[in-house]
Each structure stands twice: as structure tokens, then as C-alpha cells.
Structure 1
């Protein structure tokens, strides 16, 4: 891999650190060629500390190492994306990331939808909320709705109306998210099962 350490007069390139599993950005550091080589050799992310003026392996004092998974170069060969498995919090202030964010997997809009479902369940205004009314009716009704939506998507799969097929898929997924919460689970629990099978 070609890395342009000479682009800047200090011989440093930015290194963006990303959690391999959650895809959250954890921190930004800087590497010179020696730090990069040590990172690859040891499997522990090592930076060049601009304040200490020396190599610095993340976790050398705290034990919160960044175990190397992969390194990618950007299109200009002057910025690195380093994917890691972190051991403990990454920030020196004790937070998961240097932006004080929780290092959790996010499924984009589906995570937002899970939050909405949780809010409707907790606030339980069943007169104005379809979700709240389902939770009020109990697990049997929720499971029944998932079954109905599953049958409908099977029927639409046999036809040629892509719009109806996708809408039934959305209905099925929506009701499945409700059922997961009714059973005390979330998408993260399903992902763990799938990851376990993948190994």
C-alpha cells in the first residue's frame, strides 16, 4: 500500500479509527511511517503523538488497546481508515468515542423506527397510536399480525406488482419490530444470532 507520508512537512498522515463491528468513528490520530509499521507488526494501533513527540500505542497506559483489523488508504494516499476492535473506551476522558457518543451499532432509519415503537409502547396512548393499541392487545394479537403480514408478502411474491410486494415487506418488518419488543428484544439481538451463524 502506497502512503504519502511526505505530503506534509511533518511526515504525518491522519488516521481515522473506526469500530469494525459497530462502524462508529472512535477517534482521529496521526501516524508517521514508523507508527504505521509498528501498528501492522504488533496489531495494536500506534500513533505519533504530536504533543509527546514520540510513538504512542493507544492503551499502553490504560489497557484500552485498539486491536487492528484492517487499514485502507484514501484516494490521495494521504489519509488512513483503520478498522479496529477496541478494548474498553477509546477517549482519554473515559467515553466510547472522542465525540462523547455511545459506541453502538446503528441500523439507520430502522434504529429510529425502533425508538418510535419504544416511545409509543411506553407512552401507551392506545386511542391515538396503532402501535400502543397493539401492545395493549397483547402478544397474541401482535404475533397474529406478523403472521398475517407474512402470508400477504408470500402472496405478493407470486405476483408481478413490485410496489405491493415492497409495501407488504415494509408491513412485515414493521410488525416484526413490534413483536421483537413485545418479547423484550431488538434488532441487535437478531444480528448477534446471524453473526454467530456466519462464523
Structure 2
């Protein structure tokens, strides 16, 4: 994070900047808060989002009581240098109502959420989970499932209706995420490669 506090326009908001926090994986907007210079410096130093609480009149690190911290991945200023966008990894629900976002209908990528769930299954291996069973059967079995689902998706495209095609496509995408994770990769790696190809 190369953001320098001196670059920002602190005067416009009487020393406070509005801060939009976005999930680094799903791109869902999580919350809005405010930072003064000290809060930004604390955020940069700790790697956890710290705000200035206007009601408490003090610095406030998100999750300091709940444990649901926001781990910073990137911070950038807008074109006027008077608003910040923070991309973060939420550790638990961001909202005090136990929702992922303070905005109940904030859109995000479900595919990225599924990828994160697959990653947790790979780490935790909960008993009774189909995903756990796939990981325990190994990469060859997972690859076989991807092949089967790919054939079924192709057949649905030429011989079945849209509902069947969508169902097989969903199965294929899920098994592909498991296969990627079994090799230490994820959806973000595929997205990065696609973006590199697009810009080339």
C-alpha cells in the first residue's frame, strides 16, 4: 500500500474522509466509515481497517469487540483525493446485524463466495461434506469429475433445454473450482490470467 496521507484532501471534510470498504474477493460493498489522518496511519501500520468514530470521538478498529476485523488488501483514493476505497478480507460478518454487508442488498460475486467456501472446505475438511470427500479422493478423481461434467454440459447444449444446460454448467463450474483448489489455485488466479490476456 503506497498511499501517502499527504496526498489527500483533508480540508474538504474538516479532517475526515469517507471510506468505502469493499470485499476484496466478491467486490461486495461492506460498509461506509470515516478516517482522519491518524486512523489512516493506524490502518496502514496494522493492516486492519481503523476508522474515526464520530459518535465515540476516537479511533475505532473494526472488529475490536466482535473479532470481525477487516484485513486490508488495498487502499486507493478517488480522483479528487477526498474519498478512499478499501479492499479488505472480512473475518466474519461486517454488519452488527450479522450480515455480510451493512447494505442488505449489496451485490457481489456468488462465484467468488463459492470459491472461498471451497477453500475453507479444503482447509477444514468437515465430515459429511461432498467437497471434503472430493479433496480426500485426490486430484485425479476431481479431474475425472470435471471431465464428466464437461461432457454432460456439452451434451446438454446440443440435446437438452436451457434448464438442463444451466444445471450442468453449474456442476461443471463447481467441480472446476474444486480442481483448481486441489492444485493450490483459485478463481482469482483464472481472473488474473484472463485480464492479462485481455490487456495484451
Same fold flag (TM > 0.5): yes
Runs of 4+ in 1 over 6 A off after TM superposition: none
TM-score computed with the length of structure 1 as normaliser: 0.60
> What stretches of structure 1 of length at least 5 have no aligned partner?
108-139, 151-172
Going from structure 1 to structure 2, the CA distance change for 1:90 and 1:194 (only over 3 Å counts) comes to same
Are residues 1:4 and 2:9 paired? Answer: yes
Distance 2:180 2:56 in 1: 44
Higher Cα radius of gyration:
1
Match in the other structure for 2:84? 80
- Cα shift at 1:40: 0.6
* Root-mean-square deviation (Å): 3.2
Match in the other structure for 1:197? 185
**Is the Cα contact below 8 Å between 1:19 and 1:25 reproduced in 2?**
yes
Q: What are the superposed Cα offsets for residues 90-110 of structure 1, whole Å, 9 maximum, x if unpaired?
A: 011211110124785246xxx
> What stretches of structure 2 of length at least 5 have no aligned partner?
112-147, 190-200
Between the two structures, name the one with larger relative contact order (CA 8 Å, sep ≥ 6). Answer: 2
Going from structure 1 to structure 2, the CA distance change for 1:149 and 1:188 (only over 3 Å counts) comes to closer
Instruction: Describe how 1:112-151 pairs up with structure 2 within 5 A.
Output: 143=151, 146-147=154-155
**Residues paired across the two proteins, number:** 141
Instruction: Describe how 1:37-48 pairs up with structure 2 within 5 A.
Output: 37-48=41-52
Which piece of structure 1 moves more, 16-25 or 97-106? 97-106
